[in-house]
Structure 1
Amino acid sequence: MHQNKGKTVAQCLKARTDYAKNGEKTENEELISSYACDKETVDQEFLLAKQEYLRITGRKQKGDIIAYQIRQSFKPGEITPEEANAVGYETAMRFTKGNHAFIVATHTDKAHIHNHIIFNSTNLNCDRKFRDSWFIALVLQKVSDIVCLEHALSVIKPRRPSERDNRNSYHRVSLRKELREHIDTILQEDTKNLNEFLKRLQESGYEIKNGKHISVRGKGQKRFIRLSSLGEGYTEEDIRKRILREDEICSEEYGKEAEKNQRKQQKIKQSSRGFDLLIDINKKMQEGKGRGYERWAKIYNVKQITKALLFLQEHGIRDYEELEKKTAETSERFDAVSKLIKEKEDKLHDIAALKMNIINFAKTKKIYDEYRDLRYDKDFFEAHREEITLYRASKEAFNRYKGKKLPKVRELSEQYREVLEEKRKLYSEYKEARKEMMDIKIAKQDIDRFLKTEEKQHQIDKNIAQEHVR
């Protein structure tokens, strides 16, 4: 996102974030989440970070990028708006590595649920900018795909090398590719035969031409495209087979590949944190996992409980009572820091609201005085409805400051900057407290599950021994 001609950076940021936060698209702003900023004042916080960056570094680039936007769409009917927002938040957090403030606004006004993720080009420390590069889109795509797979969501399959052309990746989607994707969508539904498939294709806006070879033509398309020219899996015969579910082997292979990717990501997460939750083997076996999985899960659980015990030893936790006490302490610390951050966010919101009301009051006072001099003329009110309404709203907001002197805009800006800085410092403490709490909780859950499993096994052995005695 760049600064538009004839507009200030503040105006551009407000316009972009306001569009993302549109209440009609986000269910009255219920589907908006944020990181290191408040959704109500995100544009002002982004702007303050840029001003701080200029003060610290003294650098001002020509054609500067003020923010970045990510659009993340999901297959219709596959995800709830709440989960989509959580997926967007996780994607943004991994992509920015928690170094940039961002908001995630989930839009539900289209057939497909989609996220608008906007993150500040300036980092939280206000001393660096986001490093953009030619292949950054591929990195983002990979991060998004990994998060989606972890949430058991479908992702777009990359084209095979034989299907790629010699042009760069940033080209317009071809008509053939669009047709192939549309065929895939129809075939995912319960289609009984080829005639029903062609009927659905026609209902979706494609013109069908029968003959020796079946050809189709979309809206605004000059020529017909033969199904036989679309490649493997899309010829007339291949479509018949797919309708008859003769392609189940391919689906199974794709499922195995997805499971392999999930396992791979699980390993990455384990290595970054050190240990993870133990697997409930009985539950997994009831879900239909094989004996090979059971052997792997037992070895995995042994490794995880070892890591958990080492973690507790490193932190000087020697008995279960101490573990419970430490778990409660870390939870309390996390809750306390979270509460402080919320207080800072509320204070920022109040300062921003008061500042806006003072500015609106100053801008509209002249018009309101004229309206009063005209003895509240109706025609004048209709011509200046917005200005008069803003004046009245500002006047009403000042009622809580009766008997007090209103601060100046400059003082409020300075106060806002100070509170924002305090909030930023709290975020580093928040991340540390959250990590400590999660590590201790996972260790405790692993120990609890291990002790429960041991107790269960001990009871089984005891019962077997009693049977032998009988």
Structure 2
Amino acid sequence: MAATRLISMHLNKGKSIQQCLKDRTDYAQNPEKTDDGILVSSYECDPKLVEEQFALAKSEYLHNTGRHYHGDVIAYQIRQAFKPGEITPEEANRIGYETAMRWTKGQHAFIVATHIDKAHIHNHIIYNSTNLDCDRKFRDFHLSGIALHKVSDLVCLENGLSVITPRKPSERSRRTVYPERKSFRDEMRECIDICMEQKPKDMDELIKLLREMGYEVKRGKYVSLKGRGQKKFLRMRSLGAGYREQDLEKIFSGESTFTPDPKQQQKENFADKPESKVDMLLDIQAIIAKGKGPGYERWAKVHNIKQMAQTLLFLEEHDLRDYDELAEKAKAASDRFGEITEKQKALEARLVEIAALKKHIINYSKTRDVYAEYRKSGYSKKFFEEHREAITLCKAAKEAFSNIEGKLPKIKDLNQEYNEVLQEKKKTYAEYRQAKQDMKDIQMAKYNIDQFLKIEEQDRNAEKQKTTEQTL
């Protein structure tokens, strides 16, 4: 399911086209939101030079047509948000790319940046209002938002995703449902569940355990709790049935038994499923040294037991029963990831080279006449100051051409090579993501086994030392 919105991007007062585009594209490609830039794809442009290439296309459009509009739209942005849990970031980026390609019919350059910093994965698609031939512009039309929704829905259906069925077109972008955040009361109930597993004999002992877990307790007519991040105390009576003081007193007196919150129990059961991800073992000694408290220490030990079980399941699924084989596989996965990373970097570098060369060729074609006049003037300083920008661009282009062996390539050939390299990069990107995940999984498993063996060695040494002291 994808909620979409089409936004016109205008030129801001006091800023150039390139500055305005950079502000928008920098936000869209924020590394913290796009997994260090991995979740950014593009069509007929380089994400690192997108604002320059868009601005260059607009300059060429003005040169070709002579048309200039006050308050013109410099680009368009499509925001495409997906239902939480229904899609992976890689699939979202691919669907965003396909949506943009169908919407622009391949006639406009664009970038697709997938953000994963929110509960819902969403795309920021920015496409140039000027087409690739630099002779026409995209014009927003009546009910274009509905047309965009239909394109997006069609792509989603073809990829097995659900679509929104709104009552009214205006409700469409407001019907996405996001998961609820865990409230402070939910966290309190969860901590009380953990404490009650220790079978405290009365309220005083329960409060002691809650303090060990980091809660501040205020006792008066009612018992109130305040945890990390809370601004105000919350009364236990507000936690609901089973967690109020009178309910807990009945449990301590033996009149009733403790029943954990069914919602929280459901979350714990889900966390115990075999398909949970393998996580790192925690350093219990470091936790004790930091003074986190017995409650946190107990939780860390339970976490380590669960993660060690997940690690053993992972090794069994991959038929890894020998430590040397595990170490060898971990090294091979790391080497494989390094190779693909280097290949990706080489492809990206070539894309930058092609884009830069295209830019120089276009600049040279526009400025060579001015440079010829500059030479005829005897390299006049006055002429240079009047045409500084054009002459500088021409010099830069000529310097770039001097580093090329053989005949200068044509723009058409560069465009073809750029598309071929781009397709290769997209193909390699899928391998890159898989290699990264494989390396992460097996390195995590090896780390956990190493930590487990280290703990066993420490326990054996401690037992030997204890036996020696008893003998003496």
Aligned to 1:432: 434
Aligned to 2:361: 358
Q: For 1:287-314, what per-residue CA distance to the aligned partner results, in whole angstroms no more than 9, with x for missing partners?
A: 1122222222212111111110110111
The answer to whether residue 348 in structure 2 is matched with residue 345 in structure 1 is yes
Measure how far apart 1:406 and its partner are.
1.1
1:289 counterpart (289, 292, 295): 292
Distance 1:255 1:419, change over 3 A: farther
RMSD of aligned residue pairs (Cα, Å):
5.0
1:371 counterpart (371, 374, 399): 374
Q: Report SS of the residue matched to 1:254.
A: coil
Q: For 1:194-252, what per-residue CA distance to the aligned partner results, in whole angstroms no more than 9, with x for missing partners?
A: xxxxxxxxxxxxxxxxxxxxxxxxxxxxxxxxxxxxxxxxxxxxxxxxxxxxxxx8685
Q: What code does the residue aligned with 1:414 have?
A: Q
5 Å matches for 1:207-222?
A: none
d(CA) in 1 for partners of 2:109 and 2:371? 39
Which deviates further from its counterpart, 375-384 or 406-415? 375-384
d(CA) in 2 for partners of 1:133 and 1:268? 32
d(CA) in 2 for partners of 1:18 and 1:465? 69
2:328 counterpart (309, 325, 329): 325
Distance 1:427 1:314, change over 3 A: same
The answer to whether residue 429 in structure 2 is matched with residue 453 in structure 1 is no
d(CA) in 2 for partners of 1:425 and 1:316? 29
Distance 1:3 1:91, change over 3 A: same
Q: Report SS of the residue matched to 1:91.
A: coil
Aligned to 2:48: 40
Measure how far apart 1:317 and its partner are.
0.8
Distance 1:5 1:469, change over 3 A: closer
- Residues 365 and 391 in structure 1, CA contact (< 8 A), matched pair in contact too: yes
Q: For 1:75-106, what per-residue CA distance to the aligned partner results, in whole angstroms no more than 9, with x for missing partners?
A: xxxxxxxxxxxxxx8738x8547x7799xxxx
Q: TM-score, normalised by structure 2?
A: 0.53
- Residues 364 and 387 in structure 1, CA contact (< 8 A), matched pair in contact too: yes
Distance 1:42 1:308, change over 3 A: farther
Q: What code does the residue aligned with 2:117 have?
A: T
The answer to whether residue 94 in structure 2 is matched with residue 91 in structure 1 is no
Aligned residues: 304
Aligned to 2:422: 420
Measure how far apart 1:433 and its partner are.
0.4
Q: What code does the residue aligned with 1:311 have?
A: F
Measure how far apart 1:377 and its partner are.
2.4
Which deviates further from its counterpart, 320-329 or 408-417? 408-417
Distance 1:134 1:379, change over 3 A: farther
Aligned to 1:401: 404
d(CA) in 1 for partners of 2:341 and 2:450? 27
Distance 1:298 1:141, change over 3 A: closer
Q: For 1:60-81, what per-residue CA distance to the aligned partner results, in whole angstroms no more than 9, with x for missing partners?
A: 69xx9977999xxxxxxxxxxx
Which deviates further from its counterpart, 325-334 or 452-461? 452-461
Aligned to 2:393: 390
Q: What code does the residue aligned with 2:444 have?
A: I
Gaps of 5+ in 1: 27-31, 71-88, 103-120, 122-126, 144-248, 258-263
Report % sequence identity.
35
Distance 1:465 1:256, change over 3 A: farther
Q: What code does the residue aligned with 1:410 have?
A: K
d(CA) in 2 for partners of 1:369 and 1:269? 75
Q: What code does the residue aligned with 1:254 have?
A: Q
Measure how far apart 1:274 and its partner are.
1.6
Q: Report SS of the residue matched to 1:34.
A: coil
Measure how far apart 1:462 and its partner are.
2.2
Q: Report SS of the residue matched to 1:40.
A: helix
The answer to whether residue 333 in structure 2 is matched with residue 307 in structure 1 is no
- Residues 11 and 20 in structure 2, CA contact (< 8 A), matched pair in contact too: no
5 Å matches for 1:4-403?
A: 4=9, 15-17=20-22, 34-35=37-38, 36=40, 40-42=48-50, 53=98, 57=102, 91=117, 96=121, 133-134=173-174, 252=228, 254=230, 274-402=277-405
d(CA) in 2 for partners of 1:135 and 1:40? 34
